[in-house]
Amino acid sequence: MILKTNIQSMKKTLVLIALAAGLSLAAQPALASGGAKHPHSGGFSFEGPFGTFDQGQLQRGYKVYREVCSSCHSMNLMHFRTLAEPGGPFYEEGQVNPAENRFVKALAAELQVPDIDSETGEPIMRDAVAADKFPSPYPNATAAAAGNGGAAPPDLSVMAKARHDGADYIYSLLSGYRAAPAGLEIRPGQHYNPYMAGDLTPFWKGQGHVPEGGFIAMPPPLRNGQVTYDDGSAQTVDQYAKDVAAFIAWASDPKQVQRKQSGMGVLIFLFLFAGLTYVSYRRIWKGVAH
């Protein structure tokens, strides 16, 4: 009977914890995705508790960012050395230091960054090194806005964390451009995208329901065959979008895979510890009616 009571109260505790978790999830604020289409899954390898990044995909994603996105979008929180950290696109087994990674040094050296001449104090441009941040395409936010019709292209460093559905959203948005439905008034400098948040009601002159999605200032950035892949992957908009979304998901939280792996160890420990504690509890309380 005591055992039964214990199990019952334990069940209650577990139900309670589950309820608490459910409550907190249910209390998730509704996102202001005013009628945007729900992103479709990119089927990414890094999803789930055991998922890891596909290094080839991260390298391709970096290439797409470098050759396409980086002409307008900065990644101010990224350093070249980060690319060679464990789990990163250019990590090499046996490397001594991410900043000494041969690929990263070569990739950095392709670019120029502003600096001050240490002798004269004059502003100069020099080759980037692994310790440098990714250079920004614009000198400041005002210049970025002025060059893009008043809306500065957002920094992409943490973009996968800054949008609901993260990588799936980025993938869906980049590959989801389509012709605006007839009857939708497009303002100059705007483009229709069904995955973009917004409310198209004021611009809808057509029949039936207001279309899903919103206006985005970014023109469709990707074309088939635009970036050359040397690993045989398909050179399509869909593949580019998927790869760059994976790269941004990695860049937004470069330690996520290691963290999940530590988490597995932590959970195994905690479950064993819970078992031991429960056995101790049963033993100590043996013979005490309660």
Partner 1 sequence: MSDHESTYVPKTGIEKWLDSRLPIVRFGADYMSLPTPKNLNYWWTFGGILALCLVVQIATGIILAMHYVPNTELAFASVERIMRDVNGGDIIRYTHANGASMFFIAVYLHMLRGLYYGSYKAPREMIWIVGCVIFFLMIATAFLGYVLPWGQMSFWGAEVITNLIGAIPLVGEPILIWLRGGPAIDNATLNRFFSLHYLLPFVIAGCVVLHLWALHHAGQNNPVGILIPKDRTAKDTVPFHPYFTVKDGFAIVLFLILFAIFVFFMPNALGHADNYIPANPLQTPAHIVPEWYMLPFYAILRAIPDKFLGVVAMFSAIGVLFILPWLDTSKVRSMRYRPAMRTFFVIFVLVGIGLGWCGAQLPDSPVVPGMPSFQLADGMLNSYLWLNRLLTFYYFLFFIVLMPLVGLRETPRPIPATISEPVLPGGGDAMTSAAPASPEKKG
Q: Which three-class secondary structure state does DSSP give residue 7?
A: helix
Nearer to partner 1, 76 or 224 (CB): 76
Nearer to partner 1, 27 or 182 (CB): 27
Q: Which long-range contacts (CB under 8 A, 24 or more apart) does 224-228 make?
A: 226/67, 226/68, 227/60, 227/63, 227/64, 227/67, 227/68
Measured from the CB of residue 36, what is the shortest distance to partner 1 in angstroms?
11
Measured from the CB of residue 175, what is the shortest distance to partner 1 in angstroms?
20
CB 228 within 8 A of CB 244: no
Torsion of CA 190, 191, 195, 199, to 10 degrees: 50
Measured from the CB of residue 257, what is the shortest distance to partner 1 in angstroms?
11
73 is in an annotated binding site: yes
Q: How far is CA 213 from CA 99, 181, 210, 254, in A?
A: 42, 11, 9, 30
Return residues touching partner 1 (CB under 8 A).
1, 5, 9-10, 12-14, 16-17, 20-21, 23-32, 34, 49, 76-77, 82, 154-155, 157-158, 161-164, 197, 252-256, 259-260, 262-264, 266-267, 270-271, 273-274, 277-278, 280-281, 284-285, 288-290
Nearer to partner 1, 24 or 207 (CB): 24
164 is in an annotated binding site: no
CB 42 within 8 A of CB 160: no
Nearer to partner 1, 3 or 182 (CB): 3
218 is in an annotated binding site: yes
72 is in an annotated binding site: yes
Positions at the binding site for heme c: 69, 72-73, 218
* Residue set of the binding site: 69, 72-73, 218
